[in-house]
Chain A
Amino acid sequence: MRKIKLATVLALATAMVVGLTACGGSGSTASTGSSDAAAEEETAEEGGEEAAAADASGLKITLVMSQRDEFLSSLEAGAKKKAEELGVNLITQDANQDESKQIQYVQAAAADGQKVIIVNPINPSACQSIIDAAGDMSVVFVNRVPDDVSVLTDKAVYVGSDEHTSGKFQGDFLANYFKEKGQTDIKYILLRGIEGQTSTTLRSESVLKALADNGINATETYAKSCLYDRTEALNQMTNILADASKEFDCIISNNDSMALGAIEACNTAGRTIDFPIVGIDATADGRQAIKDGTLAMSVFQDPNGQGGGSVQAAVNLANGEALNANTDFEIDEETGHILWVPFEEVTPENVEEYENR
């Protein structure tokens, strides 16, 4: 009996070790192998960028994701693609919306002696605790801008898009649309995202500001949170459409999903869409709706640009180069520590260009 017990302990331990080392080994070998290959390819193809690729190869960088929704998964894919191009050994970890876990990942990377870490922060108001946990490591925040940009320094930067401009594209579009009709007083419905999220606040604020700046007098008919959710927007819009007293000239949505819910509600209620509905994200479904003529326009947030940009920025920090070296993006003039990945307007005219981005 004792022998059996002893054997079980040893077998269990051995199994774990074999399992662990096997997956560790294969994981790192595979990535090093492919990155070497990628680096060589690049050297062969483009002589000009040879130096940057050579400097970056072998650099180990951890990317800590806040979670993996549709957009952030594309961002992760963009980061991986860029890492492969540059020969960076990029490891992604999903903190699954757990801030404690996020800090844990940062500390582990610091203990591993990594030079720089990319973090997609869960809570933009608690970025200082991430910087503290990083110790000597540089930090690249991606996608969610710290609430307090004064935490940004030479060793803590942000790569992402300026949510102040996403709504501006919507507002400018609507202003032009109504000016062409000779209308300056409009009533709007605003479908808001999840309350308390920075994106919801800034997208809503910036669209209304752009309308006002363009001399449009906009009055709110209805403005409620539909949680960025298609079904929720469908339900709320169905109720609004049933209420004849609620007049409106356009529907502004904080994202495409809710705009699509609104379109669905109009179709179900038999209401002709002879007014503009505008969204943000330019998702696959959103782009289809633009082609169908139901969604007037959307705003493209570039996940590849953000993901790839964050990896390039991390490499730049590690090599002591300018934040925007080897990118097309601009550095924020005020802070000097933000790399802006621009939003882009998507309309029926240019929607085809976004098919494979």
Chain B
Amino acid sequence: MKSKADKSQFSKFLSDNGIWVVLVVLIIAITLVNRNFLTPQNAVALLTGESVKGVLTFGVMMAILSKGIDLSTGSVAALSAIVSAALCQQATATKLWAGLGTMPAIVGILAGIAIGCIVGFANGWMVAYLHLHPFIATLGTQLICRAICKLLTPGPVSKLTPGFRFLGNGRIGPLHMIVLVMIILFCISAFILRETRFGKSVYAVGGNDQAARVAGINVESVLIRVYMWCSVCAALGGILLAGRSDSADPANTGLNYELDAIAAATVGGTSQTGGICRISGVAAGILIMGVINNGMVMMGVNDQMTFIVKGLIIIGAVAFDMRKNRVKA
């Protein structure tokens, strides 16, 4: 009798945490092919490589949870990267805005975050008050932000101050700042979703906005805050990107990152029908995407195969989740 209960608990655990099982199996499989995969050095390579997309994912996760989507995150990251980088170029660099001195890093960072706030507010306002479908509203801001980037500068903005690069490139002892930022953002996201009224409201709005309204939730205000959170995460991602690569490129920085972020959130079990999201699952989703990116290089597989495997995993994960959620219902 007891063993049966154990068994059912075990399979429940497996079903709830299937994504972690997949992650572990992937790690074991790749390690079997190349033992260098499971080394501290490679863990650093993997985590620093995925941090920016991770930060974007914690943002877009919230939009998807509210039964929306945000397609503008990659472009917002680029715009934030260019403006903040231009404010923090070294004195010897070819300046984007000649005449403007080198600003302290914090000014550049705050300018980038401010851009996130503005675009996020615009996205949220359009979704909440104009009742635009989030897909359309954020597609619009995606195009606009990318175009502004290209208007601001024809080529990459490079040679940034060490202070500004610290977030993306620096480290405290063995700890890389860019990974630390992702971990902090993970903690903040978890806190918001689990412990705050706002977090509960997002679940409610995503699950059924009419019911949420009846329950006294200010749906419009929740939506605006959701999209602002999402864009601020994206802006932060842009600052990290610029710091990491010592340049911000109008055409290519953050290009298609929104899709990678959506994919990671989705693989992590965030349901496109809204109202369903587990932060631990999303973390696993980010790591799975990272393990595939990095593992494919380690196994010496040519790069197009990476996309095929990613595609299969996205499809598989969503199919599995739909089945699980249907069974629950």
Contact yes or no, B312 A16, CB < 8 A: yes
With a cutoff of 8 Å between Cβ atoms, the chain B residues found around residue A62 in the complex are: 297
Contact yes or no, A123 B45, CB < 8 A: no
Number of interface residues of B (CB under 8 A): 62
Residue from the set A94, A97, A123, A194 with the largest chain B CB neighbour count within 10 Å: A123
Interface size class of A (residues with CB under 8 A): 35 or more
B3 to chain A, nearest CB (A): 15
Contact yes or no, B14 A9, CB < 8 A: yes
Give Cα distance in the complex from A17 to B29, angstroms. 6
Question: B19 — nearest CB in chain A belongs to which residue?
Answer: A9
Question: B292 — nearest CB in chain A belongs to which residue?
Answer: A20
With a cutoff of 8 Å between Cβ atoms, the chain B residues found around residue A357 in the complex are: none
For B301, give its contact among A24, A195, A197 (CB under 8 Å).
A24
Contact yes or no, A105 B301, CB < 8 A: no
With a cutoff of 8 Å between Cβ atoms, the chain A residues found around residue B259 in the complex are: none
Question: A5 — nearest CB in chain B belongs to which residue?
Answer: B15
The reply on B132 being an interface residue by CB < 8 A is: no
The reply on A129 being an interface residue by CB < 8 A is: yes
Q: Which of A85-93, A160-168, A245-253, A309-317 makes up part of the contact surface?
A: A85-93
Give Cα distance in the complex from A31 to B302, angstroms. 11
With a cutoff of 8 Å between Cβ atoms, the chain B residues found around residue A195 in the complex are: 154-155
For A107, give its contact among B36, B49, B255, B324 (CB under 8 Å).
B49
B17 to chain A, nearest CB (A): 9
The reply on B294 being an interface residue by CB < 8 A is: yes
The reply on A126 being an interface residue by CB < 8 A is: yes
Contact yes or no, A20 B299, CB < 8 A: yes
Q: Mark B33-67, 1 if CB is under 8 A from A, else 0.
A: 11011010110111011001000000000000000
The reply on A28 being an interface residue by CB < 8 A is: yes
Question: B243 — nearest CB in chain A belongs to which residue?
Answer: A129
With a cutoff of 8 Å between Cβ atoms, the chain B residues found around residue A111 in the complex are: 36-37, 39, 41-42, 44-45, 298
With a cutoff of 8 Å between Cβ atoms, the chain B residues found around residue A91 in the complex are: 297, 300-302
Give Cα distance in the complex from A111 to B38, angstroms. 9
The reply on B18 being an interface residue by CB < 8 A is: yes
B207-231 residues at the A interface, CB under 8 angstroms: none
Give Cα distance in the complex from A109 to B52, angstroms. 20
B78-101 residues at the A interface, CB under 8 angstroms: none
The reply on A112 being an interface residue by CB < 8 A is: yes
Question: B15 — nearest CB in chain A belongs to which residue?
Answer: A5
Question: A97 — nearest CB in chain B belongs to which residue?
Answer: B252
Question: A25 — nearest CB in chain B belongs to which residue?
Answer: B33
B221 to chain A, nearest CB (A): 34
State the main secondary structure of chain B at its contact with A: helix
For B320, give its contact among A12, A21, A126 (CB under 8 Å).
A12
**A112 and B42 in contact, given A2-B11, A16-B309, A20-B295 (Cβ under 8 angstroms):** yes
Contact yes or no, A129 B169, CB < 8 A: yes
B220 to chain A, nearest CB (A): 35
The reply on B26 being an interface residue by CB < 8 A is: yes
Give Cα distance in the complex from A111 to B295, angstroms. 11
The reply on A273 being an interface residue by CB < 8 A is: no
Contact yes or no, B327 A1, CB < 8 A: yes
With a cutoff of 8 Å between Cβ atoms, the chain B residues found around residue A129 in the complex are: 169, 244-246
The reply on A104 being an interface residue by CB < 8 A is: yes
Residue from the set B29, B34, B320 with the largest chain A CB neighbour count within 10 Å: B29
Contact yes or no, B309 A97, CB < 8 A: no
Give Cα distance in the complex from A162 to B31, angstroms. 43
The reply on B144 being an interface residue by CB < 8 A is: no
Contact yes or no, B22 A112, CB < 8 A: no
Give Cα distance in the complex from A110 to B317, angstroms. 31
Contact yes or no, B15 A19, CB < 8 A: no
Q: Mark B307-319, 1 if CB is under 8 A from A, else 0.
A: 0010011001100
Contact yes or no, B305 A23, CB < 8 A: yes
Give Cα distance in the complex from A126 to B303, angstroms. 23
Give Cα distance in the complex from A25 to B22, angstroms. 20
With a cutoff of 8 Å between Cβ atoms, the chain B residues found around residue A17 in the complex are: 25-26, 29
Contact yes or no, A128 B301, CB < 8 A: no
Residue from the set A113, A125, A128, A195 with the largest chain B CB neighbour count within 10 Å: A125
The reply on A122 being an interface residue by CB < 8 A is: yes
Contact yes or no, A20 B246, CB < 8 A: no
Contact yes or no, B21 A100, CB < 8 A: no
The reply on A99 being an interface residue by CB < 8 A is: yes
Give Cα distance in the complex from A151 to B154, angstroms. 25
B156 to chain A, nearest CB (A): 5
Give Cα distance in the complex from A209 to B30, angstroms. 55
Residue from the set A94, A101, A126 with the largest chain B CB neighbour count within 10 Å: A126
The 29 listed contacts between A and B (C-beta, < 8 Å) are A2-B8, A3-B11, A5-B323, A6-B14, A6-B15, A13-B26, A17-B25, A17-B29, A20-B33, A21-B29, A23-B309, A27-B301, A31-B300, A92-B303, A99-B249, A100-B52, A107-B45, A108-B45, A108-B294, A108-B297, A111-B37, A111-B298, A112-B298, A125-B247, A126-B247, A129-B244, A194-B154, A196-B155, A196-B156
Contacts A5-B18, A13-B26, A16-B313 aside, 8 further interface pairs with beta carbons under 8 A come to: A12-B22, A20-B299, A23-B305, A91-B300, A100-B244, A105-B297, A110-B41, A194-B154
- Of all A-B residue pairs in the complex, the 3 with the closest CB atoms, nearest first, are A196-B155, A107-B45, A111-B42
